[in-house]
Structures are given as C-alpha cells and as structure tokens.
Amino acid sequence: MLILELYIFVLAGFVGYMVITKVPPLLHTPLMSATNAISGISLVGSLVAAGSHRGSVATILGFVAVVCATANIVGGFLITDRMLRMFKRDAKPDAGTDAARQPERR
C-alpha cells in the first residue's frame, strides 16, 4: 500500500512541477493563495476526526482542525478570486506593441 502512495506522491509532484514552472511571476501571489486554499483539503481528514465518536479529545481536536481548514478554504478561494479580478489587460486600442505581447511568459 505504501508504495502505491509513494507513486501518487511522486507523480503528483511532477505534475505540480510542470504546471507551476509555467505560472508567470505576475501571478505568483495568487498562486500562493490558491495553493493555500487547496491545502485546506486537510479538511477531509479533520471531518472524519470530528465526526467519528472517537472520544472527546479526538472530537475537540477535529473540531478545531475543521475550523482552521474551512477558514483557509473559504478565505483562500475568496482572496484568490478577488486578486484575479483585479488583473486586467489594457483596454485602450493604442496600447502599442505591448498589446500583442504574449501573456504567457516563462
């Protein structure tokens, strides 16, 4: 079982590497807040801990974890969206040569 999990980890890491090296510096802050929001996925572990009747200690720890993870998910996705909404291209037609510039820059 462990070897299967290692496969997943390493391959996911490669996918991440391929994708994230292509993110332009322009969007590095949204990238950080986006990965922050996605790391809120530990909520799925917290949910099981909080709702499985494993005694009061596990329930309370799980509850706090649910709060933290949810705050990250909600706050993370909202702030990423808020930032991305701000990024606009030049609407003016006389933007000159820059308008033709590819937004995809390494």
Q: Is 93 among the residues that bind other proteins (CB under 8 A)?
A: no
- Are 88 and 8 in contact by the 8 Å Cβ rule? The answer is no
Rounded Cα–Cα distance for residues 93 and 28 (Å): 28
For residue 91, report the phi and psi dihedrals to the nearest 5 degrees.
Answer: -80, -20
Q: Which of residues 32-51 bind other proteins (CB under 8 A)?
A: 32-51
Q: Is 25 among the residues that bind other proteins (CB under 8 A)?
A: yes
Q: Which of residues 2-21 bind other proteins (CB under 8 A)?
A: 2, 5, 8-10, 12-13, 15-17, 19-21
Q: How far is the CB of 102 from other proteins (least distance, A)?
A: 10
Number of residues that bind other proteins (CB under 8 A): 90
Rounded Cα–Cα distance for residues 30 and 86 (Å): 11
Q: Which of residues 50-89 bind other proteins (CB under 8 A)?
A: 50-55, 57-59, 61-89
Rounded Cα–Cα distance for residues 75 and 73 (Å): 6
Q: How far is the CB of 60 from other proteins (least distance, A)?
A: 8
Total Cβ atoms within 10 A of residue 106: 7
In angstroms, how far is CA 58 from the centroid of its own chain? Answer: 27
Q: How far is the CB of 4 from other proteins (least distance, A)?
A: 9
Q: How far is the CB of 106 from other proteins (least distance, A)?
A: 9
